[in-house]
């Protein structure tokens, strides 16, 4: 890494190009860890729900909650309104619980964790050793540290920096631990943002979620470091159903990062996560995702089916949430991180880059539900389609009659690379008072020939030139990412588009 | 409504309708009825009816709507030289109409022509409607094709010397009118169609327009000022190479109006502009639903819809640009804007783009808000009274849609209607 990577803030620089070379190869994270696993029998039933609950040693009420969700789920039908085409999912042909054998007795500290698991994360570039920090941000004076909760298939492998976070009063652990150690907090908030009955995939998750992260930031605390969860699907035919719950008390602040990868396989795998965020008065949560699940091969064989429900509830006045997502992976993406702006003058922001190449399909966007007075929201969505991919922005901006004096600004831009792909925009705009202002703009265009020519005439090959132009197109979103992710995302943009030119 | 309930509702809805199945029209009506039977009537949970409740259109008999006294305002287009075709509650009024003769144009009434064995309209009637049923169901259009007892069949072979003007009077409180017009613009031919009037307590109208190479069709309509009326209208247009289609609709008042425009750009270098200005005060629900498909290269489409809403009026816009693979160099533009004059009104919009070609320029914009306080202040600071200033700003807001009318005299006429409406609705006094 060069010393002048700060330039990344300007969107495009030679880092991008270097990164393309450095990370050459198709899907970088497609390998598999050979490790002995414990599986629950395939399929989902009340018994499986009971088994997952028992494995996690959960209290009775949690089991009842899961069972209620399961009973609801069996009465529901899978939604098919998204612009996604995929074969029927056989929900009985999936393992709902997979745990490395070595995790049978929960390790007390990271030192006790199976070295194979640690090696997996090291290979992914995720440091689980506490002194480590992410590459590219080495600053001797003030090393940037990130606490990590690593989730491997169904279980959390370990969480770093727990002791140090505890000093600040921050709770950061897996949700199974939280259910043991802080059951009252979990009980108070779980399902309060995404109810059990919310939608097909969220309801399934409510029944069978195996692990996930739990974050609690006490009143007035600014979380001393960035928190992150790293999800890895490893075992074959396994669904991953994690559940994340973040609670930001009055006046607190946290930045949370999420990353995901999976091995290359010919079969499709299901991922149905739920993220709930509760934000009280004057608190601020920044949630950033780099979603890089295995997208399938050029012919659309294999890849992750990603059906995710993410929602933030700004309950207090002046609460603020910022979603940033870089969606490059998955064969199918169905994801609409939402903001409920309940508190007066609360704020929601959504920045998204969605890249679909080859046979990938993405249907993603956000919902901004303005309920409180003087609430503000901003949506910046950049969709890039290449190959035979289909990329849809789907969003809702709703101004309720009482949300007077509110503002929304939405910008959705789509870029098409090649004549076999599709880019679609499906916004819903519902305005029910006149003191609010809503503005929506969308454009669709192709990579500008003049810009390409400019780059080519300066000696870049076509792929490099496209990567550069695309990074420029995404600049506004890349700039809203935390530093570590901005670098990774930029490189990813280039890699995801490999093979899209010519 | 559950499926069974909707099926029953459909049976009840069409029970009173006659299916005059004679001559060339017989099989076309049967096909339309088959389409309708498969689709059924739309329910509230139908995605395409998300923002408009179709109940008043589904009911077996229309909700009563009293005829409206326009208070002496001269009817729109009165000063324009035109060929008049008059309907009263959906029934042709020969006495009030001009002779159906115009150089370069063949004009037939559906009721008279349908008994023949063959007719040029065979290639148009129900065909464009059927093509427009994919990918979205339009059951009221299928119902229309199956049961319309009357309509006008217009074939244009040259440049029509004056506009054809359809005037729809409404007299009966319980009239339920269905009209189906077919228009065929032959190569290089040109027609302007004017339409005005509320037509009936409930009105279902379909116009199918088939435009050959280099043909041109200009459409201006003013939907009557009746407060209680309900209407569902469809325009289906098919454009060959270098064809032109331009349409402008003014809607003032009306309990329920759903205007669907479905345009298929099949020939390269064709052009379609669709515009609308809607004004609503109180019990007003206005829905513009537009679907434009680009199938050929270098076509241009433009949608400009503006709504001014007050006292609980609801405006809906569902617009879609679909660019098929191979429709390179497409230029698609879509604008939907609402001006909410008070806190009770609503604007609900779903402006969609669906694009499968890469070398295209497509965009949409949608804004909603109140009158710009700064602009108002600017005018008032220059001595313009508040009411006048507001009217000026509303007219400025609507200007972009009126600009889609090519004929200056017609545009002036429409502008005068807008001004009158605004003057009458200054203090929410309904008129």
CA B328 to chain A, closest CA, distance in angstroms equals: 9
> Chain A residue closest to B327 (CA)?
A419
Across A18-27, A135-144, A331-340, least confident range: A135-144
Residue B252 CA to residue A226 CA, distance in Å, equals 57
B394 Cβ partners below 8 Å, 6+ apart? B308, B339, B371, B418, B422
Say if the Cβ atoms of A429 and B325 lie within 8 Å: no
CA A286 to chain B, closest CA, distance in angstroms equals: 28
Model confidence at A159, pLDDT cuts 50, 70, 90, reads: confident
Say if the Cβ atoms of B353 and A423 lie within 8 Å: yes
* Mean pLDDT for the stretch of residues A33-56: 86
pLDDT value for A145 = 66
Percent of chain A with pLDDT over 70: 85
Token couple for A207: 């029944």
Residues of A within 8 A of B312 (CB-CB) are: none
Q: What phi and psi, each to the nearest 5 degrees, are found at residue A215?
A: -130, 130
* Mean pLDDT for the stretch of residues A11-22: 43
How far is residue A354 from each of residues A95, A129, A446, A464, B170, measured CA to CA in Å? 29, 31, 15, 19, 53
Q: Of A418, A446, A474, which residue constitutes the final position of a domain?
A: A446
Percent of chain B with pLDDT over 90: 85
* Mean pLDDT for the stretch of residues A259-280: 86
> Over chain A, what is the mean pLDDT?
84
Please tell me which of A158-167, A325-334, B405-414 the model is most confident about, judged by mean pLDDT.
B405-414
Model confidence at A467, pLDDT cuts 50, 70, 90, reads: confident
Residue A149 placed within a domain: yes
Closest CB to B340: pick one of A424, A430, A434: A434
Higher pLDDT, A78 or A107: A78
Model confidence at A106, pLDDT cuts 50, 70, 90, reads: low
CA B325 to chain A, closest CA, distance in angstroms equals: 7
* Mean pLDDT for the stretch of residues B356-374: 92
All structural domains of chain B with their residue ranges: 3-371
Residue A128 has pLDDT above 80, yes or no: no
Q: Which residue has the tokens 């694009």?
A: B355
> Chain B residue closest to A428 (CA)?
B350
Q: What is the number of other CB atoms lying within 10 angstroms of the CB of residue A442? A: 25
Residues of B within 8 A of A426 (CB-CB) are: 350, 352
pLDDT value for A134 = 37
pLDDT value for B17 = 86
pLDDT value for A477 = 84
Higher pLDDT, A253 or A491: A253
With 0-12 / 13-18 / 19 or more C-beta atoms within 10 angstroms meaning exposed / middle / buried, residue B213 is: middle
Please tell me which of A10-24, A316-330, B33-47, B233-247 the model is most confident about, judged by mean pLDDT.
B233-247
How many A-B residue pairs are in contact by the CB < 8 A criterion? 114
A117 and A200 co-located in one domain: yes
Model confidence at A104, pLDDT cuts 50, 70, 90, reads: low
* Mean pLDDT for the stretch of residues A241-262: 90
Structural domain of residue A389, as residue ranges? 347-446
A291 and A374 co-located in one domain: no
A206 and A320 co-located in one domain: yes
Say if the Cβ atoms of B360 and A444 lie within 8 Å: yes
> Chain B residue closest to A434 (CA)?
B343
Residue A200 placed within a domain: yes
* Mean pLDDT for the stretch of residues B183-190: 98
Higher pLDDT, A466 or B356: B356
Percent of chain A with pLDDT over 90: 49
Say if the Cβ atoms of A440 and B370 lie within 8 Å: no
pLDDT digits (tens, 9 = 90+) for B144-170: 999 999 999 999 999 999 999 999 999
pLDDT value for A268 = 83
Model confidence at A272, pLDDT cuts 50, 70, 90, reads: very high
Please tell me which of A18-27, A291-300, B284-293 the model is most confident about, judged by mean pLDDT.
B284-293
pLDDT value for A369 = 97
Q: How many domains is chain A built from?
A: 2
Residue A416 placed within a domain: yes
Say if the Cβ atoms of B352 and A426 lie within 8 Å: yes
pLDDT value for A12 = 38
A274 and A303 co-located in one domain: yes
Chain A within 8 Å of B343 (Cβ-Cβ)? yes
Residue A498 placed within a domain: no
Residue A151 has pLDDT above 60, yes or no: yes
Say if the Cβ atoms of B368 and A438 lie within 8 Å: yes
Q: Which residue has the tokens 């370069």?
A: B104
Residue A198 CA to residue A192 CA, distance in Å, equals 11
Say if the Cβ atoms of A414 and B368 lie within 8 Å: no
Task: Report the complex ipTM.
Answer: 0.89
A303 and A178 co-located in one domain: yes
Residue B431 has pLDDT above 60, yes or no: no
Model confidence at A110, pLDDT cuts 50, 70, 90, reads: low
Residue A378 has pLDDT above 70, yes or no: yes
Residues of A within 8 A of B368 (CB-CB) are: 399, 429, 431, 436-438
Residue A473 has pLDDT above 90, yes or no: no
Say if the Cβ atoms of B340 and A431 lie within 8 Å: yes
Higher pLDDT, B38 or A239: B38
A109 and A200 co-located in one domain: yes
Model confidence at A462, pLDDT cuts 50, 70, 90, reads: confident
A321 and A361 co-located in one domain: no
Closest CB to A418: pick one of B328, B358, B368: B358
pLDDT digits (tens, 9 = 90+) for A176-219: 889 999 999 999 999 999 999 999 999 999 999 988 899 999 99
pLDDT value for B301 = 97
Closest CB to B325: pick one of A419, A423, A435: A419
Say if the Cβ atoms of B363 and A444 lie within 8 Å: yes
Chain A within 8 Å of B316 (Cβ-Cβ)? no
Residues of A within 8 A of B347 (CB-CB) are: 429-431
pLDDT value for A311 = 97
pLDDT value for A333 = 93
pLDDT value for A317 = 97
Q: What is the number of other CB atoms lying within 10 angstroms of the CB of residue A275? A: 25
A364 and A439 co-located in one domain: yes
Residue A132 has pLDDT above 60, yes or no: no
Higher pLDDT, B198 or A102: B198
Residue A451 placed within a domain: no
Q: Among B357, B368, B373, B375, pick the best mutation site for testing chain A contact (most A Cβ within 10 A).
A: B368
Residue A63 CA to residue B280 CA, distance in Å, equals 54
pLDDT value for B258 = 98
pLDDT value for A5 = 38
Predicted TM-score of the model (pTM): 0.89
Beta bridge partners of B333: B302, B363
pLDDT value for A169 = 94
Chain A within 8 Å of B357 (Cβ-Cβ)? yes
A128 and A46 co-located in one domain: yes
Residue A468 has pLDDT above 90, yes or no: no
Q: Among A365, A444, A469, pick the best mutation site for testing chain B contact (most B Cβ within 10 A).
A: A444
A257 and A355 co-located in one domain: no
Higher pLDDT, B317 or A141: B317
Residue A25 has pLDDT above 60, yes or no: no
pLDDT value for A144 = 55
A273 and A361 co-located in one domain: no
> Chain A residue closest to B359 (CA)?
A446
CA B341 to chain A, closest CA, distance in angstroms equals: 7
A322 and A395 co-located in one domain: no
Closest CB to B358: pick one of A83, A439, A446: A446
Residues of B within 8 A of A431 (CB-CB) are: 338, 340, 346-348, 368
pLDDT value for B91 = 97
Across A130-139, A214-223, B376-385, least confident range: A130-139
Peptide bond into A122 cis (omega under 30): no
pLDDT value for B8 = 86
> Chain B residue closest to A435 (CA)?
B370
Chain A within 8 Å of B354 (Cβ-Cβ)? yes
Helix/strand/coil (H/E/C) assignment for every residue in chain B: CCHHHHHHHHHHHHHCCCCCCCCCHHHHHHHHHHHHHHHCCCCCCCHHHCCCCCHHHHCCCCCCCCCCCCCCCCCCCCCCCCEEEEEECCEECCCCCCCCCECCEEEEEHHHHCCCCCCHHHHCCCHHHHHCCCCCCCHHHHHHHHHCCECEEEEECCECCCCEEEEEECCCCCCEEEEEEEEEECCCCEEEEEEECCCCCEEEEEEEEEECCCCEEEEEEEECCCCCCEEEEEEEEEECCCCEEEEEEEEECCCEEEEEEEEEECCCCCEEEEEEEEEEECCCEEEEEEEEEECCCCCEEEEEEEEEEECCCEEEEEEEEEECCCCCCCEEEEEEEEEECCCCCEEEEEEEEEECCCCCEEEEEEEEECCCHHHHHHHHHCCCCHHHHHHHHHHHHHHHHHCCCCCHHHHHHHHHHHHHHHHHCCCCCCC
Closest CB to B353: pick one of A81, A418, A425: A425
């Amino acid at each position: 890494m060069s010393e002048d990577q700060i330039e990344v803030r300007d969107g495009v620089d030679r880092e991008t190009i270097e990164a393309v070379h450095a990370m050459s190869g198709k899907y970088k994270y497609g390998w598999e860890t050979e490790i002995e696993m414990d599986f629950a029998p395939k399929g989902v039933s009340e018994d499986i729900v009971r088994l997952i609950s028992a494995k996690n040693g959960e209290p009775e009420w949690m089991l009842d909650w899961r069972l209620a969700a399961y009973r609801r789920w069996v009465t529901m039908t899978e939604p098919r309104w998204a612009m996604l085409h995929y074969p029927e999912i056989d929900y009985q042909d999936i393992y709902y619980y997979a745990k490395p054998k070595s995790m049978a007795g929960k390790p007390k500290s990271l030192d006790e964790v199976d070295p194979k698991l640690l090696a997996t994360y090291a290979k992914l570039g995720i440091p689980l050793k506490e002194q480590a920090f992410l590459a590219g941000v080495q600053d001797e004076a003030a090393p940037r540290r990130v606490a990590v909760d690593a989730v491997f298939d169904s279980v959390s492998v370990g969480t770093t920096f727990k002791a140090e976070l505890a000093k600040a009063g921050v709770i950061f652990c897996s949700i199974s631990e939280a259910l043991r150690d802080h059951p009252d907090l979990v009980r108070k908030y779980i399902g309060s943002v995404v109810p059990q009955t919310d939608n097909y995939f969220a309801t399934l998750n409510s029944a069978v979620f195996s692990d996930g992260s739990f974050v609690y930031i006490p009143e007035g605390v600014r979380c001393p470091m960035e928190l992150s969860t790293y999800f890895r699907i490893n075992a074959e035919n396994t669904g991953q159903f994690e559940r994340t719950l973040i609670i930001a008390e009055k006046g607190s602040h946290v930045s949370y990062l999420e990353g995901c990868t999976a091995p290359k396989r010919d079969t499709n795998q299901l991922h149905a996560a739920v993220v709930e965020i509760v934000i009280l008065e004057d608190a601020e949560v920044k949630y950033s995702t780099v979603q890089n699940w295995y997208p399938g091969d050029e012919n659309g064989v294999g890849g992750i089916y990603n059906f995710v429900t993410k929602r933030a509830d700004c309950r207090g006045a002046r609460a603020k949430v910022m979603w940033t997502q870089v969606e490059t992976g998955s064969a199918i993406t169905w994801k609409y991180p939402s903001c409920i702006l309940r508190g007066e003058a609360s704020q929601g922001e959504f920045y998204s880059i969605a890249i679909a190449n080859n046979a990938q399909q993405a249907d993603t966007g956000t919902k901004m539900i303005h309920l409180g007075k003087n609430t503000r929201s901003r949506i910046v969505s950049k969709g890039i389609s290449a190959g035979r991919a289909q990329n849809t922005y789907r969003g809702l901006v709703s101004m309720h009659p009482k949300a007077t004096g509110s503002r929304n600004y939405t910008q959705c831009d789509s870029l098409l690379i090649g004549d076999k792909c599709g880019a679609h925009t499906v916004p819903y705009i519902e305005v029910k008072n006149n003191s609010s202002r809503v503005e929506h703009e969308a454009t669709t265009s192709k990579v500008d020939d003049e810009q390409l020519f400019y780059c080519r005439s300066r000696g870049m090959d076509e792929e490099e030139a496209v990567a550069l132009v695309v990074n420029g197109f995404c600049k506004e979103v890349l700039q809203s990412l935390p530093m570590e992710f901005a670098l990774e995302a930029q490189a990813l943009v280039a890699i995801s588009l490999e093979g899209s030119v010519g | 409504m559950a499926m069974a309930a909707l099926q029953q509702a459909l049976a009840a809805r069409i029970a009173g309708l006659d299916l005059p199945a004679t001559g060339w029209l017989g099989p076309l009506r049967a096909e339309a009825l088959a389409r309708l039977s498969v689709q059924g009537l739309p329910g509230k949970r139908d995605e395409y009816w998300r923002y408009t409740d179709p109940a008043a259109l589904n009911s077996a008999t229309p909700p009563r709507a009293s005829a409206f006294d326009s208070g002496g305002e001269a009817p729109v287009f009165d000063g324009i030289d035109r060929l008049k075709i008059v309907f009263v509650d959906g029934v042709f009024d020969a006495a009030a109409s001009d002779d159906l003769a115009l150089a370069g144009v063949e004009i037939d009434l559906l009721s008279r022509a349908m008994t023949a064995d063959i007719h040029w309209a065979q290639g148009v009637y129900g065909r464009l409607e059927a093509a427009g049923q994919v990918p979205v169901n339009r059951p009221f259009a299928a119902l229309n094709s199956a049961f319309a007892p009357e309509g006008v069949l217009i074939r244009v072979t040259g440049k029509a010397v004056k506009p054809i003007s359809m005037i729809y009077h409404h007299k009966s409180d319980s009239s339920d009118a269905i009209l189906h017009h077919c228009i065929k613009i032959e190569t290089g031919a040109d027609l302007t169609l004017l339409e005005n009037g509320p037509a009936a307590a409930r009105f279902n109208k379909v116009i199918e327009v088939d435009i050959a190479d280099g043909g041109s069709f200009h459409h201006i309509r003013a939907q009557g000022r009746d407060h209680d009326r309900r209407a569902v209208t469809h325009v289906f247009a098919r454009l060959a190479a270098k064809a032109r289609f331009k349409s402008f609709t003014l809607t003032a008042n009306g309990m329920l109006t759903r205007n669907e425009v479905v345009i298929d750009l099949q020939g390269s270098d064709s052009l379609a502009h669709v515009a609308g200005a809607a004004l609503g005060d109180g019990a007003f629900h206005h829905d513009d639903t537009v679907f434009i498909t680009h199938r050929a290269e270098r076509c241009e489409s433009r949608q400009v819809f503006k709504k001014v809403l007050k006292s609980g009026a609801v405006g809906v816009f569902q617009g879609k640009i679909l660019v098929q693979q191979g429709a390179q160099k497409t230029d698609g533009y879509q604008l939907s804007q609402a001006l909410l004059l008070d806190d009770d009104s609503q604007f609900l919009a779903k402006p969609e783009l669906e694009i499968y070609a890469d070398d295209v320029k497509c965009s949409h914009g949608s804004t909603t808000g109140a009158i710009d306080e700064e602009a108002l202040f600017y005018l008032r600071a220059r001595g313009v009274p508040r009411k006048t200033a507001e009217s000026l700003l509303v007219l400025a807001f609507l200007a972009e849609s009126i600009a889609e009318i090519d004929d200056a005299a017609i545009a002036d006429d429409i502008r005068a209607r807008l001004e009158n409406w605004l003057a009458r609705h200054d203090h929410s006094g309904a008129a």
